[in-house]
C-alpha cells in the first residue's frame, strides 16, 4: 500500500514539476570521470570537486547526479572495501534555497542482492572546516575512521551512501545544509544506476554519531517537508548535539574547548552576517584564521585538530564582548540550528552516554520528550558511557534497530 501511494504521488507531482520548473527538461546523464590518480590529490586540487556554475546547477532538481567516478575505497590505508565504490557529485540546496553541489560516496557490497536492495545513509562525523577531511576523500586515501562501523551495514548486504553533508564549503554545524545534503544524497543514490536501487521505493535508513547525528536528525526533521517521496524506515542517532550554545557552554575551558572554537569558525563562514571580526580581539582573529584548515579528531589525515590547538582555552579571552553566546546575532544563529523545531518523519533510535563530555544529556532528554509529545516513535537508550566510547559500544544496537526497520519489524517506543 505504501509503495502504491508513493507511485501515485510521484505520478501526480511529475506533471506539476514539468509545468512549474525547468529542472525536469534540463536533466541529463551524469558526466563520467576517470578514477582518481594514485595517490589521490587533495580535493582542492581535484577537478572532480570543482562545482558546475550556478546557472547550470539551478536547472536541475535536488538529488540529480552531476558526475560520477569509480574509486577503490580503503580503510586505514590497507584494507579495501569488498565491493564497488564510486564518488558522486549531486545537486543539493543551501539555506537560502539556492542550488549547490555536494559530494558523496556510494558503496555496493559484494553480497548485495540482485533485486530488492536497501540503502543506508551513513553520516560520518567529520566535523571539518576543510575538504581534506571529507568522507569522500577519506575513503580514497584510506583514512575513513568509521569504516569498521560501516562494514556492519555492508555485511548485511546494504548499499551505503556516505554524503559530504557539510558541502563543498565545509559548513560544519549548519543543520539545514547538512539535513538537506543527506536527503539529496539519498535521492542521488536512488538515481544512480550502478547502485541497483528501486528509486523512491527503496527502503532507506539513516544513521550517524556526534556530528553525523546532527546531519541524521536534521534529515529526519526535514524529511516530510523537503523529500516526502523517500521511503525512510528509521533513523538512529547517538551523541546528539541538540543545542550548539549549550554544547559550547559545556566544553568552554575544558579539554574539548576546541569543539567550541571550531564550531564558531564554521558558523562564522556559514553566517557572515554575524560579522565575527567585530566580536573578537587580535587573538580571536588569529584563531578564526588558524581554524580554517582544521578538522576534529581526524589524526590520520595530518590536518590540524582544534582539540589540540585550543584545549583548555576560554572563549572570553578571544572576544571583545563579555559573552559571545549572548550576542543577539549569535543567539539567532544558535536558535536556527537547534533541533526539535520540526516533527521527525521516521521512527527514531537515540542513544546517549550519561558521562558525555560534549553533549549535555539534559538537552537530549528534553529533545526525546519533545518528540514523544508530538507522537514520534522514539526508542531512547541512556548508558554509562563517555562520548567516544559510546560511538563504538552503542553501534551494535543502533544497527539492529535499523535492520529491524528495513525488515518491516514494527517500531516500538520508550515514550511514556
Can you give the pLDDT at residue 28?
Answer: 67
Can you give the pLDDT at residue 60?
Answer: 96
Q: Does residue 15 have a pLDDT over 50?
A: no
Of 139, 296, 137, 294, nearest to 209 by C-alpha is 296
Mean pLDDT of 276-296: 89
Q: Cis bond leading into 80, ω under 30°?
A: no
Can you give the pLDDT at residue 73?
Answer: 87
- Residue 59 C-beta-side C-alpha neighbours within 13 Å: 9
Cα 379 to Cα 152, 207, 399, distances in angstroms: 21, 14, 13
Can you give the pLDDT at residue 175?
Answer: 96
Can you give the pLDDT at residue 142?
Answer: 84
> Residue 84 belongs to what H/E stretch?
strand 83-93
Mean pLDDT of 268-280: 89
Cα 15 to Cα 10, 22, 29, distances in angstroms: 9, 12, 21
pLDDT digits (tens, 9 = 90+) for 199-215: 999 999 999 999 999 99
Mean pLDDT of 126-153: 88
pLDDT digits (tens, 9 = 90+) for 164-203: 999 999 999 999 999 999 999 999 999 999 999 999 999 9
Instruction: Report d(CA 121, CA 221) in Å as an integer.
Output: 15
Could you tell me the three cell numbers for 136?
569522500
Can you give the pLDDT at residue 144?
Answer: 78
Mean pLDDT of 384-412: 96
Q: Is pLDDT larger for residue 52 or for residue 266?
A: 52
Bridge partners, residue 90, by sequence: 65, 102
pTM (predicted TM-score)? 0.92
Please write down the long-range contacts of 335-339, taking CB distance under 8 Å and 24 or more positions apart: 336/175, 336/176, 337/173, 337/174, 337/175, 337/176, 337/244, 337/267, 338/242, 338/243, 338/244, 339/175, 339/214, 339/217, 339/218, 339/221, 339/240, 339/241, 339/242, 339/243, 339/367
Instruction: Report d(CA 18, CA 314) in Å as an integer.
Output: 54
Mean pLDDT of 89-113: 96
Can you give the pLDDT at residue 17?
Answer: 35
Instruction: Report d(CA 251, CA 240) in Å as an integer.
Output: 15
User: Dihedral sign, CA of 57, 63, 64, 69?
Assistant: positive
Per-residue pLDDT band for 301 (boundaries 50, 70, 90) equals: low
Instruction: Report d(CA 54, CA 402) in Å as an integer.
Output: 37
Amino acid at each position: 500500500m505504501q509503495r502504491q501511494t508513493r507511485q501515485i504521488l510521484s505520478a501526480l507531482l511529475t506533471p506539476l514539476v514539468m509545468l512549474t520548473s525547468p529542472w525536469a527538461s534540463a536533466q541529463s546523464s551524469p558526466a563520467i570521470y576517470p578514477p582518481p590518480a594514485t595517490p589521490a590529490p587533495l580535493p582542492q586540487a581535484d577537478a572532480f570537486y570543482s562545482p558546475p556554475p550556478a546557472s547550470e546547477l539551478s536547472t536541475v532538481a535536488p538529488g540529480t547526479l552531476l558526475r560520477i567516478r569509480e574509486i577503490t575505497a580503503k580503510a586505514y590505508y590497507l584494507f579495501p572495501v569488498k565491493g564497488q565504490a564510486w564518488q558522486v557529485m549531486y545537486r543539493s540546496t543551501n539555506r537560502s534555497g539556492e542550488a549547490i553541489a555536494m559530494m558523496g560516496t556510494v558503496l555496493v557490497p559484494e553480497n548485495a542482492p540482485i533485486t530488492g536492495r536497501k540503502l543506508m545513509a551513513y553520516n560520518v562525523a567529520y566535523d571539518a572546516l576543510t575538504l581534506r577531511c571529507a568522507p569522500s576523500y577519506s575513503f580514497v586515501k584510506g583514512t575513513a575512521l568509521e569504516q569498521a562501523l560501516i562494514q556492519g551495514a555492508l555485511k548485511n548486504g546494504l548499499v551505503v551512501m556516505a554524503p559530504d553533508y557539510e558541502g563543498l564549503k565545509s559548513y560544519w554545524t549548519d543543520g539545514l545544509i547538512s539535513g538537506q545534503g543527506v536527503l539529496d544524497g539519498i535521492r542521488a543514490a536512488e538515481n544512480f544506476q550502478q547502485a541497483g536501487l528501486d528509486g523512491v521505493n527503496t527502503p532507506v535508513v539513516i544513521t550517524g554519531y556526534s556530528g553525523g547525528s546532527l546531519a541524521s536528525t536534521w534529515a529526519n526533521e526535514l524529511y516530510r517537508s523537503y523529500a516526502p517521496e523517500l521511503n525512510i524506515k528509521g533513523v538512529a542517532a547517538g551523541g546528539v548535539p541538540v543545542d550548539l550554545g549549550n554544547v559550547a557552554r559545556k566544553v568552554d575551558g575544558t579539554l574539548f574547548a576546541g569543539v567550541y572554537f571550531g564550531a564558531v569558525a564554521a558558523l562564522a563562514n556559514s553566517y557572515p552576517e554575524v560579522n565575527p571580526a567585530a566580536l573578537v580581539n587580535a587573538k580571536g582573529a588569529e584563531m578564526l584564521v588558524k581554524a580554517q584548515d582544521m578538522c576534529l579528531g581526524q589524526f590520520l589525515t595530518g590536518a590540524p585538530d582544534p582539540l589540540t590547538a585550543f584545549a583548555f582555552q576560554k572563549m572570553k579571552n578571544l572576544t571583545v564582548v563579555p559573552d559571545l553566546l549572548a550576542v543577539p546575532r549569535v543567539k539567532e544563529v544558535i536558535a536556527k540550528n537547534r533541533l526539535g523545531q520540526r516533527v521527525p518523519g521516521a521512527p527514531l533510535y537515540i542513544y546517549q552516554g550519561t558521562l558525555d563530555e560534549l553533549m549535555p544529556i539534559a538537552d537530549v532528554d528534553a529533545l526525546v520528550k519533545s518528540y514523544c509529545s508530538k507522537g514520534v516513535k522514539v526508542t531512547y537508550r541512556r548508558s554509562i558511557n563517555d562520548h567516544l566510547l559510546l560511538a563504538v559500544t552503542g553501534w551494535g544496537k543502533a544497527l539492529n534497530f535499523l535492520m529491524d526497520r528495513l525488515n518491516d519489524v514494527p517500531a516500538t517506543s520508550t515514550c511514556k
